[in-house]
Amino acid sequence: MPEQPSHGMQCHEFDILLADAFDGILSGSQLDRFQAHARACPACGPLFADAEAGRNWLKSLTEVEPPAGLVENILASTTGIATSHLRHLAPSTRPLTSWLERLQASIAGLVDPIWGTVRQPRFAMSFGMAFFSLSAVLSIAGVKPADVRQVSLRPAAIRHAYYNTQARVIRYYENIRFVYEVESRVREFKRATTPAEPAPEKQKERKNDTSGEPEQKQERNYSQSDNHLILAGAPLAPSDDLPVVSVTTYRRFV
């Protein structure tokens, strides 16, 4: 902006007074000098007109409504307690009379903060990945959820299970390279799921069960890659050694 004095006012001074002029707090000789500069200065005159127009445009921007659930999300991500639960805590609410209500409230108190965190997209992704990794590791190690019920906790049995698992894992990693590992997992998954297919009458029930659909789709994808399997280098583990429980099934199990 050219610093030319016009009617006893510098452009810099005009710039400072411009905001005050819109607020209507200029008066007397100051206002006269301001107006004279606006008329005479080739830079400040247009600035005045444009700033006034811009100020009027901005008046068309009204306050927007925050999205529903924003407060709940904020509370969940800070205190980990949802609004509804805080209302429970408020002293004005009626006391919880029945033992069932008290039990529900105490369970909610324990679960809500954790659930609130898990529901956050960034955490949900992490939890999902952690769970996937865990189930993949368990699956490779040959752990079957069905076996969990029959697990013996005697020290000897635990030691036995430990060495068994270790031997299986070592065998697994020694024999195959990474690519073959992935491919054989696909094959194992197929084998593992085929005998576990439900009886025909149960299949009908499954059609209505939408939760089963992604798994079927996934299997279709897996079978596509099955066509490109190079079996020559991939060691064939005995079929009873194959982990029966696939990643997806395990997820459903939990």
Partner 1 sequence: MEDVQVVAMLVRRCIAGDAAAWEEIVQNYNRRIYNICYRFAGSADDAQDLTQEVFIKIYRTLSSYDTHKGAFATWITTITRNLLVDHFRKTKQDRMTDSLDAAPSDHEDAHPLSDRIEDKSAPPDSRVRSRQVGETVHAALAKLSPELREAVILRDLQDMDYRDIATALRVPEGTVKSRINRGRAELARLLQRTYRQVM
CA angle 169, 171, 175 (to 5 degrees): 120
197 binds, among partner 1, Zn ion, none (CB under 5 to 8 A by kind): none
28 binds, among partner 1, Zn ion, none (CB under 5 to 8 A by kind): none
> Smallest gap, in angstroms, from Cβ of residue 69 to Zn ion?
50
Positions 28 through 47 that interact with Zn ion (CB under 5 A): 41, 43-44
19 binds, among partner 1, Zn ion, none (CB under 5 to 8 A by kind): partner 1
Count Cβ atoms below 10 Å from residue 230 Cβ, excluding itself. Answer: 9
65 binds, among partner 1, Zn ion, none (CB under 5 to 8 A by kind): partner 1
Residue 23 or 201 having the CB closest to partner 1: 23
244 binds Zn ion (CB under 5 A): no
| Pair 234, 183: CB distance under 8 Å | yes
130 binds, among Zn ion, partner 1, none (CB under 5 to 8 A by kind): none
Residue 50 or 213 having the CB closest to Zn ion: 50
| Pair 179, 229: CB distance under 8 Å | no
| Pair 7, 37: CB distance under 8 Å | yes
11 binds Zn ion (CB under 5 A): yes
Stretch that binds Zn ion, among 8-16, 96-104, 119-127, 157-165 (CB under 5 A): 8-16
- List of residues contacting partner 1 (CB under 8 A): 15-16, 18-20, 46-47, 50-55, 57-67, 70-71, 73-75, 77-79, 81, 83, 86, 89-90
41 binds, among Zn ion, partner 1, none (CB under 5 to 8 A by kind): Zn ion
> Smallest gap, in angstroms, from Cβ of residue 17 to Zn ion?
11
In DSSP terms, 9 is beta-bridged to 6
Nearest CA among 62, 53, 52, 54 for reference residue 23: 52
Rounded CA separation 5/164 (Å):
92
Q: Which residues, 6+ apart, have CB-to-CB distance to 219 below 8 Å?
A: 189, 190, 193
| Pair 116, 82: CB distance under 8 Å | yes
Rounded CA separation 201/178 (Å):
40
> Smallest gap, in angstroms, from Cβ of residue 7 to partner 1?
19
Q: For binding to Zn ion (CB under 5 A), which residues are involved?
A: 11, 41, 43-44
